[in-house]
Each structure stands twice: as C-alpha cells, then as structure tokens.
Amino acid sequence: MSGEPRAVEGWASLATTPSVAVVGLGGAGSEAVQDLVGLGIPGVRAVAINTDVKHLLKMGVEERILLGQRELRGRGSGGDRAVVLRAAEDAKEEVLRRLGRCELVFLLAGLGGGTGSALLPFFSQALRETEALAVPVVFLPFQVELDANSGRRENVEATVAELEEMGGLLLVLANEKLRRFESLPIHRVFQVRNAYLHSLVASLVDMIENPSQLNVDLASLKNHLREAGLSTLVTGEYHISEPERLVHQALSDTLLDFHLTERPSALVHLDGGSNLTLRTLDRVLRTMRQRLGDPERLVFGTRVRPEARDVVRLTAVVGGLKPRTVHDALKPGPPRGPLFAH
Ligand SMILES: Nc1nc2c(ncn2[C@@H]2O[C@H](COP(=O)(O)OP(=O)(O)OP(=O)(O)O)[C@@H](O)[C@H]2O)c(=O)[nH]1
Ligand SMILES: [Mg+2]
C-alpha cells in the first residue's frame, strides 16, 4: 500500500467557492456595476439590466439584458414603475435562469426613477424563492431631488418601505451624505461612493469565499440573517495597534446613519497579518459590544493573511435595525445625529 494520499478525493469537487453576481438595475445601478468591475472583484459575474437601450449599450458590463422591449421599445420607463413591473413579470424566469447558479447576488439601483425602483424589490423577492442570498443595495437620491418632485419622493418611499418590510441584509447609501465632496465633479462624487461600495462588496465576498481559522461562510451568514431582522454591512481598516479606532472607523464611515433596536446582533469578521492576536480580537469585540449597546448575539470569525502585515480589516453584518430606519432618513431637514445612534 502506498503512503501517498489519493490525488483527488471524490468529495473535493464540492470545494467550489460560492458564485457571486453584482447586478445593476436601471441607469444608476448599471453605472455602479461598471465602476465595481473597473475596481475589480475577481470571479464575480457582472450583469446590467435596463429598459433604456442607449444607456445599456454604453455599459462595459459582461452581461446586459434589455427589459420591456415590447412595451417600452428601449426608451426607458420615464419613471413609470407599473410598466416596468409588468415587463419584469415577463422576464422573471429568464433572469432567474441566468442568475440561477449564483449563491450571493448583489442587486444595485438608484431610487427615484422607474426601472431601478421597480426592479429592486421585485428581483430581491424573486431570488428569495431560490437558494441564492439576495443583497439589495440602494442609492437614495439627493434631498433636493426629493423636495423638487413629490412623485419621485413617493416612488422612493414606496420602494424603501417594500425593502424594509422584506428584512435581511440591505445596504443603503444616501447621496445626501456625499455633500462633504461637493466641490468635486458629480461623476467623481458617484465614483467615490462606488469605491466605498466596492470595499463593502469585496470584504463580504472575501469573508465568505476564503476559509478562515475561525470560519464564517455563506451558511453561517444565512443562519445569522435568519435571526437578525433588517441588517446592514460595515467595513473598515486600521493599524493593528488601535483596535478601538478600527471599530470606530468601521461604524462611522457608513453613508447612512442607522438606528438600532434595543437588542441588535452582529456577525464580526476580523482579518489581519500574522501578528493578529487573541488580545486584539478581544479588544475589537469588547468595543463592538459597547458601541452596539450590548448586542443580543455576537458571532465572530478571524483569518490570518500574512500579506496583511499591520493592517486589520473588520467586516460586520449588524442586525436589528429599527423598522423604518431608512424611511426616516428620507425626512427633510439637516442630517440627523451620530451614526449608529440608538
Ligand atoms: N446616472 C446616475 N444616477 C444616479 C447615480 N446615483 C444616484 N443616482 C440617482 O438615481 C436615481 C434614479 O435614476 P436612474 O437610475 O437613471 O433611473 P432608472 O432606474 O434608470 O429609471 P428610469 O430612467 O426612470 O427608467 C436618480 O435620482 C439619480 O439622481 C449614479 O451613479 N448615476
Ligand atoms: Mg434610466
């Protein structure tokens, strides 16, 4: 008998990493997908879906789908959610078939138009009927856009309400929070936001795709979300010597202020170099506990990547957002209080 292990065991073929897609819905969503592709997320499928043929043709995205050819003749929806929903019903099977083998699907849209606002809740719901984990990502319009057009505000509020009702992981990036970059050209401002989104998507994908010492995979994420209610994702990086600052940075650098219920929950993943110790992990978890007001559940994982050297990255899925927390952020008036305030 040879001492050599068999080259490939039968079960080894199960060791594929989860397949991930980023799907842009409507103009803003498709442009964001194009930026994410430009910034690079290895192995992720990129798809753009729109009702506007000219916009779709401009997108340098691997897979493009024109919706509602018959009803809209490629001219966009002009803000009409109802017509987009009818077209989506007809295209549902085809889109799900195309995304069928993906296990984690980010769906991106700017709210306020007809296409993205209608398709985001529609496909988030449709994907829930499959094995995939759908993560809706919304860009909230600038306050001036909402104030100038009550139809647009209603459109946005309706979509937000549907997404909040669905629960699960929801990423909300409010354009209003980009005002600190207001001297930049507008397209650059959107690129800054998309770079931030890229760091969120890349850190979540990395967390579930690569095995860790204390592992968090897609199954643990799904389990966590089943209990956690409406949740969001935060990420941050900091020097290993200051774990408290790392937590502060991750929780403060979001583009929306979320308000938490009394008993939130968190799934925390820490990834750092070979000097990442249990003491550092402890300090991060203790600070997380304080900042979140003693969460009901705190699940954690860690991974050592020698190339990370002195930088530690924190990725956290924070659950237990107050119902209507996003809806409240749409109210007119100055930006509200501290991030993650109770
Ligand atoms: N073009 C663009 N618009 C953005 C971006 N981020 C947010 N928006 C806003 O996204 C909202 C929706 O616009 P679109 O994406 O063009 O709308 P749509 O989903 O294509 O819907 P229709 O054009 O009405 O069919 C608007 O309020 C924009 O101001 C972005 O990166 N690019
Ligand atoms: Mg459009």
Q: What is the pLDDT of residue 157?
A: 92
Residue 290: both structure tokens together: 């304080």
Chosen domain end from 139, 170, 204? 204
Query: Per the domain annotation, does 62 fall within a domain?
Result: yes
Residue 269 is part of a domain; what is its CATH number? 3.30.1330.20
pLDDT at residue 341 above 70?
no
Identify whether residues 90 and 113 lie together within a single domain: yes
Domain co-membership, 158 together with 268:
no
Mean pLDDT within 49-62:
96
Q: What gap in Å lies between CA 236 and CA 225, rounded to an integer?
A: 21
Band (pLDDT 50/70/90 cuts) for residue 170 is: very high
Same domain, 60 and 183: yes
Tokens 């401002």 appear where?
189
Please tell me the residue having the least CA distance from ligand 1 atom 3: 28
Residues 161 and 21 in one domain: yes
In a domain, 124, yes or no: yes
For 48, the 3-state DSSP assignment is strand
Tens-place pLDDT, residues 233-250: 999 999 999 999 999 999
CA distances from 43 to 20, 143, 167, 280 (A): 8, 36, 27, 31
pLDDT at 256 over 90: no
| Higher pLDDT, residue 320 or 5 | 320
**Closest residue to atom 17 of ligand 1, CA basis:** 113
Tell me, what CATH number does 154's domain have? 3.40.50.1440
Which residues have beta carbons under 5 A from ligand 2 (an ion)? 27, 52, 76
| Pairing status of strand 63-66 against strand 45-50 | parallel
Three-state DSSP class for residue 323: coil
Say if 141 falls within a structural domain: yes
How far, in Å, from the CA of 52 to the mean position of ligand 2? Answer: 6
Q: Containing domain of residue 311, as a range?
A: 214-321
Q: Which ligand is nearest to the CA of 159?
A: 1
- Residue 190 CA: which ligand 1 atom is closest? 31
43 and 123 share a domain? yes
Looking at the fold, whether 84 and 62 belong to one and the same domain comes out as yes
pLDDT higher than 70, residue 322: yes
Are 86 and 11 spatial neighbours (Cβ–Cβ below 8 Å)? no
Q: How many domains does the chain have?
A: 2
Instruction: Tell me how far the alpha carbon of residue 259 lies from the centroid of ligand 1, in angstroms.
Output: 26
Kindly state whether residues 76 and 39 are assigned to the same domain. yes
| C-beta of residue 157 within 8 angstroms of C-beta of residue 327 | yes
Q: Which residue has the higher pLDDT, 261 or 85?
A: 85
Supply the pLDDT for residue 18: 67
Whether residue 339 is predicted with pLDDT greater than 50 in this model: the reply is no
